[in-house]
Amino acid sequence: MRALTWHGKHDVRVDTVPDPQIVNPRDAIIEITATAICGSDLHLYDAVIPGLMPGDILGHEFMGRVVETGPKSTLKKGDRVVVPFTISCGACFFCQQQQFSACDNSNPVEKQEASELLYGHAMSGLFGYSHMTGGYPGGQAEYVRVPFSDVGPIVIPEGPSDEEVLFLSDILPTGWMAAENADIQPGDNVAVWGCGPVGLFAIQSALLMGAGQVIAIDHYPHRLDLARKLGAKVIDFKQTHVLEALMEMSGGIGPDAVIDAVGMESHGFSPDALMDALKQKVGIGADNVHALRMALMAVRKGGRVSIPGVYGGLADKFPIGALMEKGLQIRTGQTHVQRYSKELLHRILEGEIDTTFLISHRLSLEDAPTGYRNFHGKQDEWTKVVLKPGMAQGS
Amino acid sequence: MHRRQTDLPLAAAVLALTVGAGLAASAILKTGPKRPPDSAPGRTARRSGFGGYQVAGRTVTIAAPRSRIYEMWRKPDHLTDFMEGLAAVQVSGEDVTWVIDTPDGHLAVETRLVEDRENEALAWRSVEGAEIDIEAKVQLRDAPVGRGTEVEAHIAWRPRAGIVGQWAARLRGADPKMRGKQELKRLKMLLETGEIATSSNRKAD
């Protein structure tokens, strides 16, 4: 089959690789009809997330048709499914608590060592991501092997287009959980850093949850415009003092809740240095925590801090004093996608949530490297790229 | 020229002081006042000696009843289904021979069941004349509310090759501590999900 593979910093290629097979009884094989490039794929593209290997197939936002099932899969051939990016067994203590991204049983045993060293515990397996989360081949391909296919995939009724439901795989539930983690109360002032897809979905979710005012912070005019269209007020940090503006726009109190939908950005650490440091059990370099630092300073006393943005390492100059003295609460984590699938599918089918507004480009799978280059380099216009293996190259 | 001559003894003195202070500090730490025992399992102690034995152990919580886990260990023929470091198990009454994969080839360890408390504990000890002096024990406890069973496994063994051999084994990925932990995680996966997770896209040939 054809698949988008990672070969190093800013080097992704479409290669011919062996087709996946049913390996375990609960597996299914999905033929991909649509897959997207995610902001966290850009962290891989920039090589700031450790534990990728040349030849790894990327992609963790995907959907398609079931073409083969293992004996314990509950899916049927021909089912149309969206697949959560988190791989979860459904049976362990964490899955039972609906903390699906903390699943104990989906990250292969031998891949857990690095995470235990770096984080104390290993998280669930993820598609198309670091080998610290299993190194599972991803869905920017013609086919993908889906483990625990009786737990993750959501069967989609005929009717809605792929583009209307594709983002149930990651960014929609991620934006939703970001708002839920901010514990939004009716009338709240909410500030969101980053108007990428997750930030935009967090804005939409916060408003649905009853926020009185959502203030979006970014510097790309087009992205700020999308936020404005969703009903947010916007701050362009290139022209405005953010902290001062947030105080003025919240009656001198500060936002009740803040959401960091930026994450570690591109000034991270190189993977080779990181892996070496990891082996030596010493410091592993510093994530860029600028947005989070601002959020902690801006949020009102006793306020809530939600972090959907991705971080991988350690933070320098983290304002621990502001966190403690102001009595803040922090909630974060990789998304427990399966927890939200049903409810969010329902809201899409009911027309309460539109997910298609942020798609800027549709490309064939063969053109995926172009998609990466532009999603990375032209962030203002390229807000979201959907890849379609069935589409002709160059169209 | 003159400077160099005076600097050398100074450097030596600094070095001697530093080394001396280090030795003194370690001596104080080693012979420091005796502390009352704490509640932690002995194998997590900071000391490294356990009467000439190496000790490794690990606890996992498995969402399965104690009886099911007890049965698996009581009839260990099928442990090779999930234990990657175990090449074969031969059972004859109370005697069990464990054929362990090591970087130096297969190591057959003959043991005898020395403790058997139904749904609570099992222990095996190497027999007289076995290739290695070892004891292995599995203990089962109910986990808090509905979490299943806490499975605690530990082994104590007298290393064949001394400290150098242990480090060599660690470098070759044969560290019993890590291997034991990984085997228990595989057991948990098998009992909780019916399979062992792999990110391989193809069946092994």
Q: What is the pLDDT of residues A223-244, one digit of tens each?
A: 999 999 999 999 999 899 999 9
Question: pLDDT band at B50, cuts 50/70/90?
Answer: confident
Q: Would you tell me which residues 101-160 of chain B have a C-beta closer than 8 angstroms to some C-beta of chain A?
A: 147-148
CA B182 to chain A, closest CA, distance in angstroms equals 6
Interchain pair A104, B186: CB under 8 A: no
Q: Are residues B14 and B115 in the same domain?
A: no
- CA dist list (Å): A193 to A45, A201, A214: 22, 12, 11
Nearest to B201 among A110, A111, A145 (CB): A145
What percent of chain A is predicted at pLDDT more than 90?
Answer: 84
Query: Hey, is the C-beta of A97 within 8 angstroms of any chain B C-beta?
Result: no
Contact B195 A106 (CB under 8 A): no
pLDDT for residue B146: 86
The DSSP code for A6 is: E
Listed in sequence order, the residues at least 6 apart from B130 whose beta carbon sits closer than 8 Å to its beta carbon are B109, B110, B111
Q: Which residue of A has its CA nearest to B200?
A: A136
Structural domain includes residue B39: no
Q: Can you give the pLDDT at residue A104?
A: 97
Residue A282: predicted pLDDT: 42
Please compute, for residue A139, the number of CA atoms within 13 A of its CA located in the half-sphere on the CB side.
34
Cross-strand partners of A383: none
User: Between residues B92 and B29, which one has the greater pLDDT?
Assistant: B92
Residue B88 in contact with partner chain A when CB distance is under 8 A: no
| A198 vs B163, residue with greater confidence | A198
d(CA B21, CA B155): 37
Q: Does B86 touch chain A (CB under 8 A)?
A: no
* B73 and B16 inside one domain: no
Residues of B in contact with A26 (CB under 8 A): 193-195
Is B201 in the A-facing interface, judged by CB distances under 8 Å?
Answer: yes
The alpha carbon of residue A242 is apart from the nearest alpha carbon of chain B, in Å, by: 44
Its domain, for residue B8, covers: 1-31
Is A108 touching B (CB cutoff 8 A)? Answer: yes
Q: Is 60 exceeded by the pLDDT of residue B48?
A: yes
Q: Are B27 and B116 found together in one domain?
A: no
Same domain (yes/no): B158, B103? yes
Lowest mean pLDDT among A36-50, A149-163, A348-362, B151-165: B151-165
If we measure between CA atoms, which residue out of A30, A339, A351, A371 comes closest to residue A164? A351
Residues B112 and B26 in one domain: no
**Could you say which of B61, B199, B201 has the minimum Cβ distance to residue A125?**
B199
* Inter-chain residue contact A111 with B186, CB threshold 8 Å: no
Instruction: Establish if B97 touches chain A: CB-CB under 8 angstroms.
Output: no
How many angstroms away from the CA of B47 is the closest CA of chain A? 20
Q: What's the total number of domains in chain B?
A: 2
Q: What type of residue sits at position A28?
A: A
CB contact (8 A) between residue B193 and residue A93:
no
Note whether A35 contacts B: Cβ–Cβ < 8 A: no
Has residue A307 got a pLDDT over 90?
Answer: yes
Buried b / exposed e along B79-90 (16+ C-beta atoms within 10 A) = beebbeebbebe
Looking at the fold, whether B92 and B14 belong to one and the same domain comes out as no
Query: Which residue in B182, B198, B202, B205 has the most chain A C-beta atoms within 10 A of its own C-beta, making it the best mutation to test that interface?
Result: B198
Mean per-residue pLDDT for B71-75?
92
Minimum CA–CA partner of A70 in chain B:
B195
User: Å from B49 to nearest chain A CA?
Assistant: 24
pLDDT at B102: 79
Q: How far is B130 from chain A (nearest CA, A)?
A: 30
pLDDT value of position B179: 83
CATH of domain A2-170+335-388: 3.90.180.10
Residues of chain A found within 8 Å of residue B192, distances taken between Cβ atoms: 89, 91-92, 104-105
Percent pLDDT > 90 in chain B is 42
Cβ <8 Å between B192 and A104: yes
Q: Are residues B107 and B166 in the same domain?
A: yes
Question: Would you state the CATH architecture of domain A174-332?
Answer: 3-Layer(aba) Sandwich (3.40)
Distance in angstroms (rounded) separating the CA atoms of residues A203 and A230: 7
Q: Is residue B11 part of a domain?
A: yes
pLDDT for residue A357 is more than 80? yes
CATH number at B74 reads 3.30.530.20
Task: Name B122's Cβ contacts closer than 8 Å, sequence gap at least 6.
Answer: B70, B73, B74, B113, B115, B116, B137, B138
Same domain, B15 and B103: no
Q: Output the six-digit token pair for A375.
A: 């999603």
A98 in B contact zone (CB under 8 Å):
no
pLDDT score of B87 more than 70: yes
**Would you call A137 an interface residue with chain B, using a CB distance cutoff of 8 Å?**
yes
Check B202 against A105: CB less than 8 A apart.
no
Distance (Å) from the alpha carbon of B141 to chain A's nearest alpha carbon: 16
**Residue-wise over B123-161: b if at least 16 C-beta within 10 A, else e?**
bbbbeeeeeebbbbbbbbeebeeeebbbbbbbbbbebee
ipTM: 0.88
Q: Which residues of B touch A18 (CB under 8 A)?
A: 201-202
**Residue A91: closest C-alpha in chain B:** B192
Q: Inform me whether the C-beta atom of residue A26 falls under 8 Å from chain B C-beta atoms.
A: yes
What is the per-residue pLDDT for B28? Answer: 53
Are A105 and B186 an interchain contact pair (Cβ–Cβ within 8 Å)? Answer: no
Q: Which of B147, B188, B201 sits opposite A137 (nearest CB)?
A: B201
The predicted structure's pLDDT at residue B132: 82
Residue B110 lies in a domain: yes
Report whether A116 contacts B177 (CB < 8 A). no
Residue B128, phi then psi, degrees to nearest 5:
-55, 130
Within a domain: residue B20? Answer: yes
Average pLDDT over residues A48-56: 91
Domain boundaries of chain A, sorted by first residue: 2-170+335-388, 174-332
A149-185 per-position pLDDT tens digit: 999 999 999 999 999 999 999 999 999 999 999 999 9
Q: Does B185 touch chain A (CB under 8 A)?
A: yes
Please tell me the distance in Å from A145's CA to the nearest CA on chain B: 7
The percent of residues in chain B predicted with pLDDT above 70, rounded, is 75
The pLDDT confidence band at residue B173, using thresholds 50, 70 and 90, is low
Residues B129 and B102 occupy one common structural domain: yes
Q: Do A26 and B147 touch (CB under 8 A)?
A: no
For A95-146, what is each residue's pLDDT tens digit?
999 999 999 999 999 999 999 998 999 999 999 999 999 999 999 999 999 9
